[in-house]
Structure 1
Amino acid sequence: MVKPVEIGNLPPLSRSESLPRESPRPNLLRELSEQAILETIFREGPITRPEIAERTNISKPTVSAVVERLVQSQLVQTAGERPGRRGRTPLAFTVNSAAGFVVGIDIGSTRLRVAAVDIYGGALRELELETSRGGPRAVEEQITGAVRQIDRELSGRHGDLLAMGVSTPGVVDPETRRVTSLAWHVSATGEFDSLATLESRFNVPVLVDNDINMAAVGEKWRGLAGGVSTFVVISIGAGVGMGIVIQDELFRGFHGAAGEIGYLPLARDPFDAHHRKLGGLEDEIGAEGILTAYREAGGSADSAREVFEAAQGGDTAATQVIENAAQRIGLAIATVCAVIDPELVVLGGRIGGAADLLPAVRATVGRLLPLPTRIETSILAERAALEGALAMGLREARSQLFSRERRAAVS
């Protein structure tokens, strides 16, 4: 079954999440001790056996026995001697970086990114392809082929594939994890259910979530939201969406559609039937909307990026289009802040991440809200969703390592 994801306590896992949930049994204390030792090595390594005993309050003989067995099972490796101490120079230990690897997948409207990291999050391999226009099945085959290529390249030196995180457009049902609707950029029907087959093909856990939710996870892990418990990520590119994090938990809503701000009625005519598919705000400030507005103003361009370039060159029509877009983005942010009151708003995506927008967006929000709102441009740019997919895959993979150690403990 494809598993849901949560944002709280991104890798490494908290102690409470790594404890076994089975009913008590005779060797439970042994299991807890071994898990505590493995997690301490993971969290604080390189670390010596005396230091592990001090951190965990587990006896030194028990620590030594467990560490020896972890080394033999290739979950832990030596990291050299720790100099500068009296008596015997103790060995330090770390979790073996070849204990396995994780794959993250980001399905964009134009680009498909597939990346692999080791158990520490260190980059191993990355592929980038043009997203197939052949529908969901063709995209699924692209993903399968890319993952198989990475698996062949890495499995010999870095262990087994442990888990996958998938960032996908569309609404992901909170219960079934199916992409039920609104994935218009990869599916003519808006549905995209074929991702569930990844788990059966590779026999590893697959964690699937909406791309902007994954971008929020990425921002929490490696972006501007580290240390921030309540924030939103607003992505503007081919589509418009928002990821919501409240008290370190992703908020998805009843249908899994929380954050679909492309449907905010902030268009010139919010009741225009044309907005029913993608939403009034997305039709106005998404890539196609910006391009259309520029052409209607007499400009000539083939992409939204060219409109931004024209504005930078002093083109009056392009400048006006960008200013109007910035104002609508500001209106959307003010609406969101009035409801959620986030500590931070992160702007990303090919359009939202444009530095030219930020001053005008901030000015609009400042005119509308009495309380100050921190609005920043993402430092992860278009990699935010991929980083989120990797983070969630890592969280699951580390849990798998602890489970593997539990199974070894009772065998």
Structure 2
Amino acid sequence: MRELLANRVKTLTPSSTLAITAKAKELKEQGIDVIGLGAGEPDFNTPQNILDAAVESMTKGLTKYTPAGGLPVLKQAIIDKLARDNHLTYKPNEIIVGVGAKHVLYTLFQVILNEGDEVIIPIPYWVSYPEQVKLAGGVPVYVEGTAEQSYKITPQQLADAVTEKTKAVIINSPSNPSGMIYSREELEALAKVADEKDILIISDEIYEKLVYNGVEHFSMAQISEQIKARTIVVNGVAKSHSMTGWRIGYAAGRADIIKAMTDLASHSTSNATTTAQYATVEAYNGPQTAVEEMRKAFESRLEKIYPQLSAIPGFKVLKPQGAFYLLPDVSEAAAKTGYESVDAFAKALLEEANVAVIPGSGFGADATIRLSYATSLELLEEAVRRIDTFVKSKWQD
């Protein structure tokens, strides 16, 4: 029989986060008391006013196709949000609404990358960045932000990585998986390099609202009009409004790029789900009290769980400033407990301690594991207790 699969999918690496979450769910269905710390979504329901808006739109019969780039009323809500929260001015033709921020990124790479174009991806990275770049015919170029650098890259590293084939750099702040945030000064320094080297900046700001201990989020596009012109901001309501399953994200940027993305969407998704778009209008135009309540809950959990996790032998933990992840370096713990790799250590945690974590290898950071604190404090503390017991019971000096 002829080869049925396209070459572009043969090198894809399955999402490690989804794989671990699925395995944990499978064990739970078998009656095993597994605590899952792998999910990248808030554990709160979507706020009631947003649910009500969705129902109202359906009862009014607003269930038909929308323009491929999004409802005009939703584009305006996004424009108002960007002006209110980020002091940025955009026009409707500079906004596209997509099927989640993930698909917005996928569409963006499809329209900007030619075969062999390079995209600079800081390590640690969100698992889908390199795969999406490869699917568009691009080449991921990795630059490591070490723990000593708080998992952030430097302007010199960026400059050194740029070649004549470089098309863009991705900056994710707050970061998945590290939770670290680039300061305004750090972003300005990176932007200067990007401007000098004439490359696009893809600013993934999906965790924008989840920042802690007085740290403020700053958008790359806020630096100057010149930097804004070479920046594509990607955001959405998944994390900020606990709407992961609604699949609404957006991009804001140059009209020519947004038009190309919209044209591609017209031949792929047609439009993001109409009901979800109307729900998102309420998410941005309605009260934001639930957003702050969730932020405070995550901050409280971080403050309580961080010192407990740091006390586990062989765990080196940087305190994150945003998102809802911890990324401890557990290479010593893995070695001292007899495992040849952190991946094997994480597998044993699931099978023997019944705690599901994501191996850092999926993020390009082999020495780490990612733990999500988007679950109850009770479960978090029990998970840390299990991990601590597991490590101490196997520790070999």
TM-score above 0.5, yes or no: no
Name which structure has the greater RCO, CA cutoff 8 Å, separation 6+.
2
TM-score (norm 1): 0.29
Higher strand share: 1
Q: Which has the larger radius of gyration?
A: 1
TM-score (norm 2): 0.30
